[in-house]
Structure 1
Amino acid sequence: MRDQVSHDKYGLGRVVAVEEDLAVVIDFGAETRRLTAPYAKLVKL
């Protein structure tokens, strides 16, 4: 799994982990963020 995503605030990133549909961990290059559901500002590319 290395889906590329875009976030309104953090920009382009790659999914590095999914936590049972509760959260995703995304590497945005400069930082890694854990985003919880719902993923309102996150778009899969």
Structure 2
Amino acid sequence: MTKPAAPKRHLPTSPFKAPVPPVPKHFAMGDQVTHDMYGLGRVIGIEDGVAALVDFGSTQVRVLSPYAKMTKL
């Protein structure tokens, strides 16, 4: 198992702005969502900060955090 890469350090003398970390997404039971790969679905289970179980009609998928391809409607 490999460790995730450490984020690059922002140098105080850099002329560029420091990167802003993305805001974590939060989902609740019953939320209607859309996924780039699976389409429209409804959240049927939550593992806090780890994953969401989503029913897409034809299949149920466990989508892992940070939910990059999933958005709440």
Where does structure 1 lack aligned partners over 5 or more consecutive residues?
none
The structure with the greater share of residues assigned to strand is: 1
1:35 corresponding residue in structure 2: 63
Give the Å deviation of 1:38.
1.0
Relative contact order higher in (CA < 8 Å, ≥ 6 apart): 1
> How many correspondences in the alignment?
45
Alpha-carbon distance in structure 2 between the residues aligned to 1:21 and 1:2: 17
Normalised by the length of structure 2, the TM-score is: 0.60
Largest Rg, 1 or 2: 2
Q: Once the two structures are aligned, what percentage of the paired residues are identical?
A: 53
Deviation beyond 2 Å, 4+ runs, structure 1: none
**Partner amino acid, structure 1, of 2:45:** A
1:11 corresponding residue in structure 2: 39
Give the Å deviation of 1:27.
0.1
Alpha-carbon distance in structure 2 between the residues aligned to 1:20 and 1:43: 17
RMSD across aligned positions (CA):
0.6
Alpha-carbon distance in structure 2 between the residues aligned to 1:20 and 1:2: 15
Where does structure 2 lack aligned partners over 5 or more consecutive residues?
1-28
Give the Å deviation of 1:29.
0.2
